[in-house]
Structure 1
Amino acid sequence: MNLSYWEIKSWLTKVDFTIIGSGIVGLNTALNLNERFPESSILILEKGILPQGASTKNAGFACFGSLSELLDDLKTQSETAVFELAKKRINGLELLRKLVGDKGMGYDPNGGYELFLKKDPIYEECMENISRINKLLQPLFNKNVFQVCENKFGFQNIKDQYVFNPFEGQLDTGKMMERLLQMAQNKGIKILNGIEVLSFSETNHGVQIKTKEFEFSTSKLFIANNGFASQLMELPVKPARAQVLITKPIEDLHIKGTFHLDQGYYYFRNIDNRILLGGGRNLDFKGEETVELNQTELIQNSLEALLKTVILPNKSIEIDHRWSGIMGVGETKAPIVKQLSNHVFAGVRLGGMGVAIGSLIGKELAELLD
């Protein structure tokens, strides 16, 4: 790249902290580092024009896990581990709301619902274990989190009863990220977009970073690019693509809230008199273990079928737009927040709960620096 002396001097010289990824985790890491070390030089590198992974591509759910998801977690983890992870997600949401403000990100506390298809085998298990999960989460809310409700939205081909969670909400992902970016820029944090990091190597005094465009050195490196992290180094995190579609505006749309089906593998919500619907990764786990930001006929067809047979069966619906994002998942849903070497730190593997847990992971990542 044809960089001038001024550009090198202003952006790539005497960099104290470099962060890979300008999503929720990366920006929160930068803001927390700036608060602790206000005189430091902080640089964020983002390979996309906008945050490339999931932060601006998700569904905007302010949630911490549906009933069936939490029950599934209990099959491989202790009650203590499941409780602590739910607590992290709830604390992360509170931190995000405090940082950005509800108005600043269009937060709307419409609650969350879990629906069950007619032949869903998990339905009976959920109904039998509501009391158990409510007891587990009782210390977090001092109230029952999950309650049984009747179908009031006119959905079809589902069980007559579903599960309601009054503590969930929804937000405008674009507004949230705009606000976080403004906060970072107001603090003098530099952000370079369209810069892909190819590799890095540790030296006695810091880290040498090689991008497609230039090389430079930094005192400390923070990896916050979630599903893309394993492209840089060996970490137990895999990419998981999430495909999404959104309808054109629908007249008299009465659906409000966040909705989960099939253990959270499908999800939808209202936004601007439209239905935003995503998921279907469980139809092709291996195929969706990719960093390619495109869509597949298999999953898009399944989303449209769900839209037309369950969500809005008696409406004429047009699809307006489709996209995909990349999450970071692993064998466990516990995030990775750790120091990897003398000068390198990582905060990744958010398990599809970036909105909930991202602010807290960014804070914890910054606090790793002694």
Structure 2
Amino acid sequence: MELSYWELKNWFTDIDYTIVGSGIVGLHTALRLRERFPAAKILVLERGMLPQGASTKNAGFACFGSLSEILDDLKTHSEEDVAALIEKRWKGLQLLRKRLGDQAIDFKPHGGYELFLKEDELGFSECILKLPFINEILKPLFKADVFSKETDRFGFGNIQDYLIFNPFEAQIDTGNMMQELLKQAVSADILILNQQTVTSYSDAGNHVEVVLNDFSFKTNKLLFATNGFANALTNGAVKPARAQVLITEPIKNLDIKGTFHLDRGYYYFRNIGDRILLGGGRNLDFETETTTEFGQTKIVQNKLEDLLKNVILPNQDFQIAHRWSGIMGIGNSKNPVVSQLSENVFCGVRLGGMGVAIGSLVGTELADLI
């Protein structure tokens, strides 16, 4: 890379903080560092044209976990851990709304619903049975019951008679959210360079040498906010998880409003105006979906289309307008990894598919490690 004197002087000299990843976590980290260090030189590096992982690709759910997902988490996490995690997600959502404003992110508090397939009698019964217990756990945080039983008024097909309703869930516009974050970062004199891949780095004690393909520069501190791409950084504590998503063409007289969950959070859908966005299905083939490669597979796409046809929009005509995928970061624990890797290198990763909820908090915690 041939750089001029001006490019070296303005972008790559006397850098205090370099953040890798310009998604929700990376930009919240940068903005928090700016609050703490008004005169610092802050550089954000992004390997994609836009934030590469899931920040501009997610479904726009302002949620903190469906009832069946929370019960599933209790099989591998303690009651205290699950309650603490939900509190973090809830606080993260409030932080996001406070920083960006509800209007900017098109926040719509329609509530969230969970539906259960006809054949999932066991899962449905367990959720109904344990609903009061989960409400009790969450009452100190929400000061009210979170989950309640409601009849299906949306005309879904092949499901149990009742849905589980959560009034604390909402929708946001993912594109608007990221544009507002980028706007705030630029306004705060944070430098953002896209299509820059960090190939290696070394902590020299008094600075970090950062290598971008055939070019290197020095920074005082290096912070990684690369979530699903952080496997090597964390010795396998973070695994990538691809999420496949589709969206329909506009549907006449669509009467579905809100965020909807199915099968322990493995499937999720919502309305965007008069369209349906539907994603999920990695549980059909965990091995293939543990990847940093974007793309679709037949097994997942066929299942998504089947759900649209037989469950979400029975007896309705629809056409699929577009398909895409995003890369999340997951692991054995749902708790994020916010840690110091060496004297001058830090990371905030493993958002567990809850980036919208927890990303702002993880970014703030990452910046506060400095």
Structure 1 CA distance for aligned equivalents of residues 316 and 198 of structure 2? 46
Structure 1 position 2, deviation (Å): 2.1
Give the partner amino acid of 1:242.
A
Structure 1 CA distance for aligned equivalents of residues 232 and 23 of structure 2? 17
1:80 aligned partner: 80
2:8 aligned partner: 8
2:290 aligned partner: 289
2:357 aligned partner: 356
2:274 aligned partner: 273
Give the partner amino acid of 2:67.
L
Q: CA RMSD in A?
A: 0.9
Structure 1 position 167, deviation (Å): 0.3
Aligned counterparts, 1:1-370, within 5 A: 1-120=1-120, 121-232=122-233, 234-369=235-370
SS in 1 for 2:33: helix
Structure 1 CA distance for aligned equivalents of residues 83 and 207 of structure 2? 38
Report if the CA contact (8 A) 1:199-1:232 is conserved: no
Q: Give the ranges of 4+ consecutive aligned residues of structure 1 lying more than 4 Å apart after TM superposition.
A: none
TM-score (norm 1): 0.98
Report if the CA contact (8 A) 1:195-1:213 is conserved: no
Give the partner amino acid of 1:38.
P
- Residues 192-215 of structure 1, C-alpha deviations (whole Å, 9 max, x = no match): 000111111110211111112521
Structure 1 position 131, deviation (Å): 0.3
Structure 2 CA distance for aligned equivalents of residues 213 and 302 of structure 1? 44
Question: Which is worse superposed, 354-363 or 225-234?
Answer: 225-234
SS in 2 for 1:286: helix
**Identical residues among aligned pairs (%):** 62
Give the partner amino acid of 2:68.
S
Question: Which is worse superposed, 174-183 or 73-82?
Answer: 73-82
Question: Which is worse superposed, 182-191 or 232-241?
Answer: 232-241
Report if the CA contact (8 A) 2:205-2:344 is conserved: no
Question: Which is worse superposed, 252-261 or 202-211?
Answer: 202-211
Give the partner amino acid of 2:354.
M
SS in 2 for 1:360: helix
SS in 2 for 1:254: coil
SS in 1 for 2:231: helix
SS in 1 for 2:289: coil
Structure 2 CA distance for aligned equivalents of residues 281 and 84 of structure 1? 26
Structure 1 position 230, deviation (Å): 1.7
Question: Which is worse superposed, 86-95 or 231-240?
Answer: 231-240
Report if the CA contact (8 A) 2:48-2:195 is conserved: yes
Structure 1 position 73, deviation (Å): 1.0
Report if the CA contact (8 A) 2:261-2:268 is conserved: yes
Q: How many residues align?
A: 369
Question: Which is worse superposed, 232-241 or 279-288?
Answer: 232-241
Structure 1 position 272, deviation (Å): 2.5
Structure 1 CA distance for aligned equivalents of residues 8 and 301 of structure 2? 45
Question: Which is worse superposed, 206-215 or 187-196?
Answer: 206-215
Q: Which runs of 5+ in 1 are unaligned?
A: none
Structure 1 position 235, deviation (Å): 4.5
Structure 1 CA distance for aligned equivalents of residues 219 and 235 of structure 2? 21
Structure 2 CA distance for aligned equivalents of residues 316 and 5 of structure 1? 60
